[in-house]
Chain A
Amino acid sequence: MEQLIPFLITFGAALFLGLVLLMASTFLGPKYPNKSKAQPFESGWIDRPKISGHYVAFYLIGVLFLTFDLELVLLYPWVTIFKTLGLSGLITIFIFLGILGIGLVYIWKKGVFQWN
């Protein structure tokens, strides 16, 4: 604890100084607000709203990839201890795969794979 005291003093002093300087510029500095100043700075360009970002399917595929990738992450360690787990392990993993399969049917019917 004693070794920390110099560090804490330095830290406190830095924090204090930083806050005081910031406050000082806020309170003492002159203020001339105008419209261009209030706009967000965008490298000299006038800010305008973007019409669209990425194609929606991009995100859907990303999430789907993550889901089925994690499925593999679970299946690999399961394979290594498959014999020790026996029948109950087999049933459990099939329940897991079944729930994932239901998810697949769900997104299929919802039209996630139709990329028009």
Chain B
Amino acid sequence: MIHPDSDTLEKFFDRELSDEQNVSVERHVAICSECRDFLVGSQMTRTLLESSPLPTQSESFVHSVMEKVRDSEHQRFAFQIRNFLNSGDSRPAVSRLPLFSSASLCFEVTRLQLQTRCSPIVR
């Protein structure tokens, strides 16, 4: 009896064969206990791994990630604004403003002003 090579058996197990190849291996496996044993062994591992359910959906996880994302965004804006203020760019400040959305700019400028207690920072 000619057995399919191990690569073909692996692909058969992983449903990566063409329909035609699939039928041919299926026929062989039906009458070959050696190849069947190979598949049964692989199936044991698969069954065990599939037995573990996915974690349940967690809204608190989503909230926690989004909170960190927002913090990270604020830090990025703060960094950009600091660069903006220290850039030494000779253009008037107002021409550089479109770099930021107006809401985030107002928020960050106010926050930085409060933090550093400096005089108005938009030069």
The answer to whether A binds B is: no
Measuring CB to CB, which residues of chain A are less than 8 angstroms from any residue of chain B? none
B residues near A (Cβ < 8 Å) are none
